[in-house]
Amino acid sequence: MRIIKKQGKAILNKELKKSYNFFIKEANTNKKSKGYGLIKDKTQLANSIASIASVGYGLAALIIGVEHKWIKYEKAYERANRTLETFIKNVEGKNGFYYHFINMETGKREWNCEISIIDTAIFICGAITAGEYFGKEVKNKADILYKKIDWEWYRNKTNNLFYMGYKPEIGFWGQWDGYAEQLMMYILGVSSPTHPVDKSMYYEFDRKTKDYKDIKDIIYTYCGTLFTYQYSHAWIDNFVYNVCGCSGDWKMDSFVENSIKATKANREYCIDNRNKFKTYGENSWGLTACLSPKGYISPGAEPCDVQLDIENDGTISPFGAIGSIVFTPKESIQAMEYYYNTFKKLWGKYGFKDGFNLEGENSWFANEYIGIDKGIEMVMIENYLNGTIWKYFMKNKYVIKGLEILEFTDTKDNKLKLNKV
């Protein structure tokens, strides 16, 4: 049982409910629309543009809502079922993958965007979880959508890596050649009953390591931004360990333990740079992609492979620390309390807004919310409190098969215990 101070628990529950509200109120609920169930990318868009990843988190929101009695089971079931029907019939894509951004009314491509493997994976994780929770037609539709995905099509046959993106105008580009948020793609890809990839893909991407101060051997991501250490763990049980017999650069300790180390390094980096940016501090940390005074940016922390001065402008997003609550519960709750008690402008209709920056003469606070940012907060808080999303995602037979193929385990001897707060 987790011990949480009274105020911390109250704020956690407030943020959980308000984040949930984003996915309920910013969705297309017109039953006559071809885009039923699609959810906005962010709140203040002139046009109604949905993000497929937002829909994945929205499906998780329905489960959380039922568990907390915020929505009746029957209503949530119908909404999940109709949302998956929308993807089967109307959402534009290719070979089971979907465009990153789509029109909320039609399901068609918007912004000349790419067919996204990572955003499709996030959506499918939400669909699979909803299928396990609601069963019946929802589970059948989730299976249909999962089996449609041709993972092999998205594989670069030359280097055995997943491509980063695809546009029909230019074809594939980029590659997932380093450690980042994509771990879920391998679990889903190797276990596909229709279009699987070989497990060797999982061992092809680089695992570069660096230290930050006394935090040793961090398998770091290219830009050091915190969401890259969070996204897969929103779905994959926080206690899963890799036990393959690899050696040297390929030795895999727990990616969970690695996310703990990277999160602690992110906080230490903010403490070390608080004289440079007054927004930073021991309770104001969590550098990650977010809105800023100059638009959408991707700030990060050491270790990384980029020049941090280019992206880092002093902006902090609350979801950086809060989305890491399963890794650093004490520090994340302290940050959340600091944000809530100190900055009234940071709190609004859907809880914490996307970012704030105290640099310059006038402090800046975002006035909008982004679906994927509210989603990672919501799912991680729920997992921390109750483990709900982990529980149902990890029940899926294809997820279990994927973990077995990649030689993961979650035996009691290998479980990582979360620190009590």
Task: Please report the DSSP string for 354-402 in residue order.
Answer: S-EE--SSS-EE----BHHHHHHHHHHHHHHHH-HHHHHHTT-HHHHHH
What range does the domain containing 108 cover? 6-414
* Longest CA span, the chain: 58
3-state DSSP assignment of residue 41: coil
Tell me the DSSP string of 120-172.
Answer: HHHHHHHHHHHHHHH-HHHHHHHHHHHHH--GGGGEETTTTEE-SEEETTTEE
Asked whether residue 420 is assigned to any structural domain, the reply reads: no
Tokens 């989603």 sit at which residue? 375
Distances (CA, A) of 110 to 64, 114, 252, 321: 29, 9, 39, 31
Tokens 């049980």 sit at which residue? 237
Q: Please report the pLDDT score of residue 389 as a whole number.
A: 95
H/E stretch holding 230 reads none
Asked whether residue 98 is assigned to any structural domain, the reply reads: yes
Q: Please report the pLDDT score of residue 45 as a whole number.
A: 73
Question: Can you give the pTM of this predicted structure?
Answer: 0.93
Asked whether residue 358 is assigned to any structural domain, the reply reads: yes
Asked whether residue 419 is assigned to any structural domain, the reply reads: no
φ/ψ (deg, to 5) at 30: -80, 110
Provide the 10 A C-beta neighbour count for residue 75: 12
Q: From start to end of 271-312, where are the E strands?
A: 290-292, 295-297
Q: What is the CATH number of the domain that holds 327?
A: 1.50.10.140
Asked whether residue 86 is assigned to any structural domain, the reply reads: yes
Distance from CA of residue 102 to its chain's centroid? 19
In the chain, the number of structural domains is: 1
Asked whether residue 1 is assigned to any structural domain, the reply reads: no
Q: Please report the pLDDT score of residue 406 as a whole number.
A: 87
Q: Please report the pLDDT score of residue 169 as a whole number.
A: 97
Q: Please report the pLDDT score of residue 157 as a whole number.
A: 97
Tens-level pLDDT at each residue, the chain (421 residues): 354 555 678 999 999 999 999 999 999 999 999 999 999 999 987 678 999 999 999 999 999 999 999 999 999 999 999 999 999 999 999 999 999 999 999 999 999 999 999 999 999 999 999 999 999 999 999 999 999 999 999 999 999 999 999 999 999 999 999 999 999 999 999 999 999 999 999 999 999 999 999 999 999 999 999 999 999 999 987 544 333 333 333 233 467 889 999 999 999 999 999 999 999 999 999 999 999 999 999 999 999 999 998 889 999 999 999 999 999 999 999 999 999 999 999 999 999 999 999 998 899 999 999 999 999 999 999 999 999 999 999 999 999 999 889 887 654 443 333 333 3
Asked whether residue 48 is assigned to any structural domain, the reply reads: yes
